[in-house]
């Protein structure tokens, strides 16, 4: 199957220094975008729509838990869900890196 511009990687990187890498098609959103990791759920709001950078520093390797008794069990142990308001939830595998610089 050929990749198109809209295709995204199956795996996203996260590091302590930069945070979670955000696929280009999810960087612009209107009103809110929701991030879920095994440990946390973050609702990121912007009144006039938003533009996320290449990395989202709020999500770090600490948000991926090795304990199966976590808040978002369906993402255990190394998945992240990203869902813009009015859009579809997209789930990615996360690769933890020492540094993304």
- Per residue in 11-69, pLDDT (tens digit) is 999 999 999 999 999 999 888 999 999 999 999 998 777 789 999 999 999 999 667 77
Cis status, amide bond into 77, omega within 30 of 0 = yes
Q: Report H helices in 1-101.
A: none
pLDDT band at residue 78 under the 50/70/90 scheme: very high
pTM summary value: 0.85
Yes or no: say if 70 and 83 are a contact pair by the CB < 8 Å rule.
no
């Amino acid at each position: 199957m050929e990749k198109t511009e809209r295709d995204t990687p199956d795996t996203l990187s996260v590091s302590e220094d930069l945070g979670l890498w955000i696929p280009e098609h999810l960087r612009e959103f209107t009103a809110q975008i929701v991030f879920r990791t095994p440990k946390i759920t973050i609702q990121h709001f912007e009144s006039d729509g938003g533009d996320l950078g290449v990395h989202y520093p709020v999500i770090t390797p600490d948000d991926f838990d090795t304990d199966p008794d976590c808040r978002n069990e369906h993402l255990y142990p190394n998945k992240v869900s990203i869902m813009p308001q009015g859009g579809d939830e997209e789930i990615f595998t996360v690769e933890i890196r020492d540094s993304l610089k």
